[in-house]
Homo-oligomer: A and B are copies of this chain.
């Protein structure tokens, strides 16, 4: 049987009959990563007629096989080292893996996380290096009229120094929450690891909640610009002032960066261009603006592209070649180049995934504030 809701009762009760043995009786281990990077997934579902595995390490769902004891299982791979979302489909119903405590924070779907570690040490792993801390802030948004939260990474040693730090605003995608760049993006460990080897400047990272409660329309419509603008308003009026008065921040444009994934990339591009007096570093992960939006809102930046390029110390855009947004993202890269705006671009393998988002974060964190 699958563990029920009240195991804290029954397990404790059962264990009051046992002595010294582990509290998990016949636990199911899933996922199990083997030394050769093959991975076994397991789910106890004796009554199911079909169990499939859906994961971003494969292109199509894999049918799992039922053993005699009611546990469905499949072994795949070797799988390329990375941190992947996956879920089970049990008779057509999507569910996360009940035996894996690592969950994907999201408002639209439930997924679990598979970590296939790299032999060289994954860029996002918790390693034996000094660690920063990750703090949840709670506030009542006057603009959105609801209780909200944002998350702040402070680098190792922040508490014991009196130094001030640059700030990187990092925005997640559609249906993600403010937790996603922490729990899935692993922004804290990526930065810990980069800072430990001197590849990134010690910096503060602020992860806001990007859902503006006004939908996610096409990036080139006036509605999209309104949503982006509302995000910019919340960031500039509610979050940046709080951060700059509660943390030791360097309050100048060269020490402010903004980047994001998917919808958060569009919000970052819009906010960065609109508030170019406040941000010298912009990153776009698997996102874009259309020429129409750019010219409507940021036309003046095109009148002196050399000056705009000088002001933007970093303008970095990355996309995967199988991303469903590949074409508009590359079109935007080309558009900026045609207009004489200097930018750095990266085309990688893969799609519109958090594996790519983490990789782009790793790349941009090394460029900001240098």
Contacts and interface: CB of A to CB of B under 8 A. Distances in A.
Contacts of A246: 159-160
A73 to B, nearest CB: 15
Contacts of A216: 11-12, 15, 23
Contacts of A325: 12
A24 B93 contact: no
Contact of A223 (B20, B126, B175, B177): B20
A273 interface: no
Interface string A84-111: 0111011111111010010101111111
Given A19-B221, A92-B1, A217-B21, A173 B8 contact: yes
Given A131-B139, A134-B135, A94 B215 contact: no
A298 interface: no
Contacts of A139: 131
A45 interface: yes
Instruction: State the number of copies, please.
Output: 2
A4 interface: yes
A13 B326 CA distance: 12
Contacts of A135: 133-136
Interface of A: 1-9, 11-13, 15-16, 18-24, 43-49, 54-56, 85-87, 89-96, 98, 101, 103, 105-111, 126, 128, 131, 133-140, 147, 159-160, 173-177, 188-189, 192, 214-218, 221, 223, 246-247, 262-263, 324-325, 351-352
